[in-house]
Structure 1
Amino acid sequence: MHTSPIHALGRRVAGRAPGTAGRAVALVCCAGLAAGCTGSTAPTGQDTAAATRAAAPMAADDLENRYKKVIKEVLPSVVQIQASGDLGSGVVFDGNGHIVTNAHVVGSEKTFQVTTANKEEPLRASLVYSYPEQDLAVIRLDKVPAGLKPAVLGNSEKVEVGQIVLAMGSPLGLSSSVTQGIVSATGRTVSEGESDGGTGATIANMVQTSAAINPGNSGGALVDLDGRVIGIPTLAAADPHLGSAAAGIGFAIPASMVRTVAEQIVRQGKVVDSGRAALGITARTVVDTSYQPAGAAVVTVRKGDAADRAGLRPGDIITKVGDRPVTSLTSLAEALAAERPGERTSVTYQRNGVSKTVEVTLGEQ
């Protein structure tokens, strides 16, 4: 369970990206100075310190050149998307003009203006399909320009905490912007709010990053230093005390999920295999006598689906899925996000004040 609000990033706010090369130089130089400050007066020690100082600028140059190489390779695959008055970002998925972005970027729009990194005049694009449950969507350029370059999607399973990443997109409406950071965590399950422009989706296995991600970055690219897109920046945490974005806490939908959803949309025009577990119910949050969230009350049960087969009925109050407590509709969604369709799990619920537990074979959303 997370304690900070999470905001979708399709709209503009003021922000400034930190310089990447200067940060790399400072880190490498500090390491070089520490290695040279041994206090030794022997000739061999002096030679070692001199060699370290000479190597430090070279190492900084190597990292800076690698940044430049990745940016040059990947930035042409990142576009700016304008839907009505809102701006977001997108990633070129294939050479046929398909672009993957966030569902909250496209909203309810059907047509868009797309600006590529190497073309000033916007191009017209149309919606192929939006999948709010995973906050992903695919649009397609009406006319594919020469030289359109698809991005290379990486393997999310190989993403490691601590690896350097670059976030590319259009924060503040500033197209082709790049920030840098690291992978702070993997496997996060995060729920979007709807009041701040999100879809209300609960998304599992998200990549957390310290790279600066601001409104307008949504739908862009989180890239490793091999030039592979490892995620689609989507959310930022907000500081509940300040009421503003919490610096250095952003989330990206993993590339493996992006590939799975986008390929289905491109090939079949919709998502036919979501990979998301479901009970086959609609529900609402209920509160206890202290007005605190106390569970998810079943409102309707789809006939023949998982909950129906397990004997759940409208009015039952779900309090646990597996070993995960359920106190609200959001926590129910988060518990299900950790499961897979076809898996068996226990569901604890209250009926007429009596607690019961049943085994459920999960369905698909």
Structure 2
Amino acid sequence: MTEQSFPAMSGSLVEPQPAVAPAPKFWRRTAPMLTAATLIAGLFGGVTGAVIASPDGTSSGTSVTAQTVSNQSTVDWTITASKVLPSVVQVNVGNGLGSGVILSADGKILTNNHVVASSGGQVTVKFNDGREVPATVVSTDPTSDLAVLQASGVSGLTPIKWANSDQVKIGDAVMAIGSPSGLQGTVTTGIVSALDRKVTVPGETRRSQPVSYQAIQTDASINPGNSGGALVNAAGELIGINSAIYSPASSSGEAGSVGIGFAIPSNQAKQIADQLS
């Protein structure tokens, strides 16, 4: 078991010292709303990548024989996504946002505490079908970084299906679903990179306490805005609540995926959710 603990980000920028590597940072932030300029730039980047890279990495006219090289190549992720997307919501809190998973048909939703901690009670949830409704914070548990919300005036929702996180294995194929930077319904895939990874997330203000838990580590891309969203297995069952990412320190203060993400195991999340509901 390896413990990873990273210092909180400084509130001011300092000039880096020569020949000294910057300290890593560990993030659990909600995402800012995406601006049109940022979105357009991102779309251009995606088009460029599509032109440069061949889908199968081969040149035109070359004949190749397909082989199964990993457990991911046998998964039809379109089926997984169609099962899980109706059970994942976007959580809007002022100028920030996160994600959440539906617990009950009448609108109970599980998310991270840090997503709603500074909401001031102003919370809405947006469903996969485009509906957006007000929500109230039912209860929170800052020590586990979990919170339960209640969406107003809804029924017939599709609750998330739970998996036994004790049965998760290193190398299992997984999918992360959430709203990175407000891009609702984004799915990314990867594997379970490690289990029982003890991580400590620093408090984001002087009044908040650090949060520690034994996490599932994944290389599925997780970014600000994914917090509170689903990490599921190939069957579309919840194995964890995406909660934090590791990101090297940068002078810009921005964090993005480097393939090291962490999720609160589903068994722990379900136990806390039952207590909070």
Fold conserved between structures, TM > 0.5: yes
1:6 to 16, 26, 46: 26
| Counterpart code for 1:100 | L
Partner residue of 1:36? none
Partner residue of 1:362? none
Whether 2:183 is the aligned partner of 1:174: answer: yes
| Counterpart code for 1:254 | P
2: distance between equivalents of 1:198 and 1:169? 28
Partner residue of 1:152? 161
Partner residue of 1:112? 123
| CA deviation vs aligned residue, 1:18-69 (integer Å, no higher than 9, x gap) | 99xxx9x749x9xxx9xxxxxxxxxxxxxxxx9x92x549x999746x2000
> More deviation in 244-253 or 133-142?
244-253
1:250/1:199 CA distance change after superposition, 3 Å: farther
| CA deviation vs aligned residue, 1:71-112 (integer Å, no higher than 9, x gap) | 000010000011121111000011221000000111143241
The secondary structure found in structure 2 opposite 1:133 is coil
Contact 1:239 / 1:246 at 8 angstroms: preserved in 2? no
Contact 2:223 / 2:257 at 8 angstroms: preserved in 1? no
Partner residue of 1:261? 272
1:209/1:200 CA distance change after superposition, 3 Å: farther
| Counterpart code for 2:273 | A
TM-score norm. by structure 1 comes to 0.58
Structure 2 counterparts to residues 1-365 of structure 1, below 5 A? 1-2=3-4, 4-12=24-32, 26=56, 53=65, 56=67, 63=74, 66-108=76-118, 109-118=120-129, 120-145=130-155, 147-195=156-204, 200-240=209-249, 244-245=255-256, 247-266=258-277
Q: Looking at both structures, which has the greater relative contact order when contacts are Cα pairs under 8 Å and sequence separation is at least 6?
A: 2
Contact 1:7 / 1:196 at 8 angstroms: preserved in 2? no
Q: Larger helix proportion, structure 1 or 2?
A: 1
1:196/1:226 CA distance change after superposition, 3 Å: farther
1: distance between equivalents of 2:29 and 2:163? 22
1:184/1:61 CA distance change after superposition, 3 Å: closer
Question: 1:214 offset after TM fit, Å?
Answer: 0.5
1: distance between equivalents of 2:263 and 2:232? 11
CA RMSD of aligned residues (A): 3.2
The secondary structure found in structure 2 opposite 1:140 is strand
1:5/1:144 CA distance change after superposition, 3 Å: same
The secondary structure found in structure 1 opposite 2:273 is helix
| Counterpart code for 2:229 | G
In structure 2, runs of 5+ residues without a counterpart are 7-23
2: distance between equivalents of 1:61 and 1:190? 26
| CA deviation vs aligned residue, 1:178-212 (integer Å, no higher than 9, x gap) | 11111111101111122389954332221111011
In structure 1, runs of 5+ residues without a counterpart are 34-49, 267-365
Percent identity over the alignment is 35
Contact 1:170 / 1:216 at 8 angstroms: preserved in 2? yes
Contact 2:140 / 2:148 at 8 angstroms: preserved in 1? yes
Question: 1:246 offset after TM fit, Å?
Answer: 5.5
| Counterpart code for 2:85 | L
1:210/1:196 CA distance change after superposition, 3 Å: farther
